[in-house]
Amino acid sequence: MPDATPSPLDPRQRHRHGARRARLLPACALAAALGLAACGDAPLPRWQGYVEGEFVHLASPFAGRLERLTVERGQQVAAGAPLFALETEEESAARAQAVAQLEAAQAEFADLQTGRRPPEIDAIRAQLAQAEAAAQRSAAALVRDEAQLRIGAIPQAQLEQIRATAQADAARVRELRSDLAVARLPGREARRGAQQAQVEAARAALAQADWRLSRKAIAAPAASLVYDTLYRQGEWVPAGSPVVRLLPPGNVKIRFFVPEAAIGTLRPGQAVRLTCDGCGAAIPATIRYVSSQAEYTPPVIYSNETRRKLVFLVEAHPAPADAARLHPGQPVEVEPAAAGGTAPASAAAASGARP
C-alpha cells in the first residue's frame, strides 16, 4: 500500500516553487494597491532633488592689487552696494593725461575761432601807419619831380626812380591792409574742422579713461547674498579673475528627478511644493524646465521593467522671498502642488520609484 506522506521536494522542485512565488508576490501587491486606490485618494508622488544656485562671478577686466574688500562671506548686500576695489594709480594718471589733452585741443580750437591775438593786430596796424606815411611822402615827391622835369630841372632817370618808389610804397600799404583784414578773421574752415576732430578724439580718450577707472571698483548689480570671496585684501588679482561670488534670490532653483511614468504629468509653468529638513512650511515653486532626455538609460531594449529605471531632470524656481530659506546643495523632496486633489494613476504608481 503506498505511503500517504508526501515526499519531500528535491532541490530543483524547491527552486521552481520559490520562483513561482516570487512572481506572484508583485502581482498581489499591485492588486492590493489598486484596491486601496479604488477605496480612497491615492497619495501624491514625492520626488528627490536638491537646491542649486546660479552664481554671479564679479571681476574687473583689468589686473591690479586688491585695495579694498568691503563685504564678507555670508553677508546680504543691496543693489549698488560697493563690493571691492583694485588699485587705480595707472588709471588715474591716464585720466589726468586725457583731461590735459582735451583742454589743449579745446584751447587751440577756440584760438582758431577768434583769429590772431590783439597785440599781433596792433603790430600790423603800426606797420600799416608807417607804410601809409611813406606812401604819402613818395606820392608828394612824385608830383614835385614831375613838375621839375617839365622845366628841365631834373633828369628823366630821377623821375623814374621816384615813380617806382611811390608805387612800392602804395603796394606796401595795400599788403598791410590785407594782412590786417586776415588777422581779424577766424582760421580756415578746413583747419577748424580738423581741430574740432582733435577735440572729439580727446573727449573720447577721456571717456575711455573714465570707464577704465570705473571698472576698478565693482558694485553689486542686484540685492544678493555674498556666497564667497576669492581673494584677500592686498593680493594681486589677474584681469578677469572673479573676486566676489554672489547669489541673487532669483538664481536659486531646485533640480529634482522624476520617473518616466510621471514625466508626462509635468510641464513648464506648473506649480509644485518642496519640503526640506528645517525649512518649516512647504515652499511653493514653479517648474521652468523639463528635460526631454533621460538621465539614466540602461543598455537594454526598452520594456515595462526597464522603463521604470529611467528618470528625467526637472528644474523649478521658488519665489525670491522664499529663496532665503534654501541653501545650495541642500536635499529636498518635491510633490505636485494640487493639495487635496487626486494624483494621476501613472504618477501614483511611480511615487515609489527613486532615482
pLDDT at residue 7 greater than cutoff 50: no
**At 22, which helix (H) or strand (E)?**
helix 11-39
pLDDT tens-place string over residues 53-77: 999 999 999 999 999 999 999 999 9
pLDDT at residue 27 greater than cutoff 80: no
CATH 2.40.30.170 is held by the domain 40-54+249-350: yes
User: Is residue 336 within 8 Å of residue 272, measured between CB atoms?
Assistant: yes
Chain length of the chain: 355
Mean pLDDT over residues 258-276, rounded?
A: 91
pLDDT of 353: 38
Q: State the pLDDT confidence band at 84, using cuts at 50, 70 and 90.
A: very high
- 275-281 CB contacts, 8 Å cutoff, 24+ apart: 275/332, 275/333, 275/335, 276/51, 276/326, 276/330, 276/331, 276/332, 276/333, 277/331, 279/325, 279/326, 279/332, 280/325
pLDDT at residue 278 greater than cutoff 60: yes
Q: Which residue has the higher pLDDT, 79 or 140?
A: 79
pLDDT of 341: 37
User: Is residue 351 within 8 Å of residue 45, measured between CB atoms?
Assistant: yes
CB atoms within 10 A of CB 215: 15
pLDDT of 306: 63
Q: State the pLDDT confidence band at 127, using cuts at 50, 70 and 90.
A: confident
pLDDT tens-place string over residues 134-157: 888 888 888 888 888 788 778 888
pLDDT of 158: 82
**Cell, residue 234:** 592686498
Angle at 114 between CA 110 and CA 117, to 5 degrees: 105
CATH assignment of 56-87+216-247, among 1.10.3720.10, 3.40.640.10, 2.40.50.100, 3.90.1150.200: 2.40.50.100
The verdict on pTM exceeding 0.75 is no
Domain ranges of the chain: 40-54+249-350, 56-87+216-247, 95-211
pLDDT of 61: 95
Q: Which residue has the higher pLDDT, 156 or 187?
A: 156
pLDDT tens-place string over residues 192-229: 788 889 999 999 999 999 999 999 999 999 999 999 99
When mean pLDDT is compared across 59-63, 146-150, 172-176, 262-266, the lowest value belongs to 146-150
**At 1, which helix (H) or strand (E)?**
none
pLDDT of 134: 87
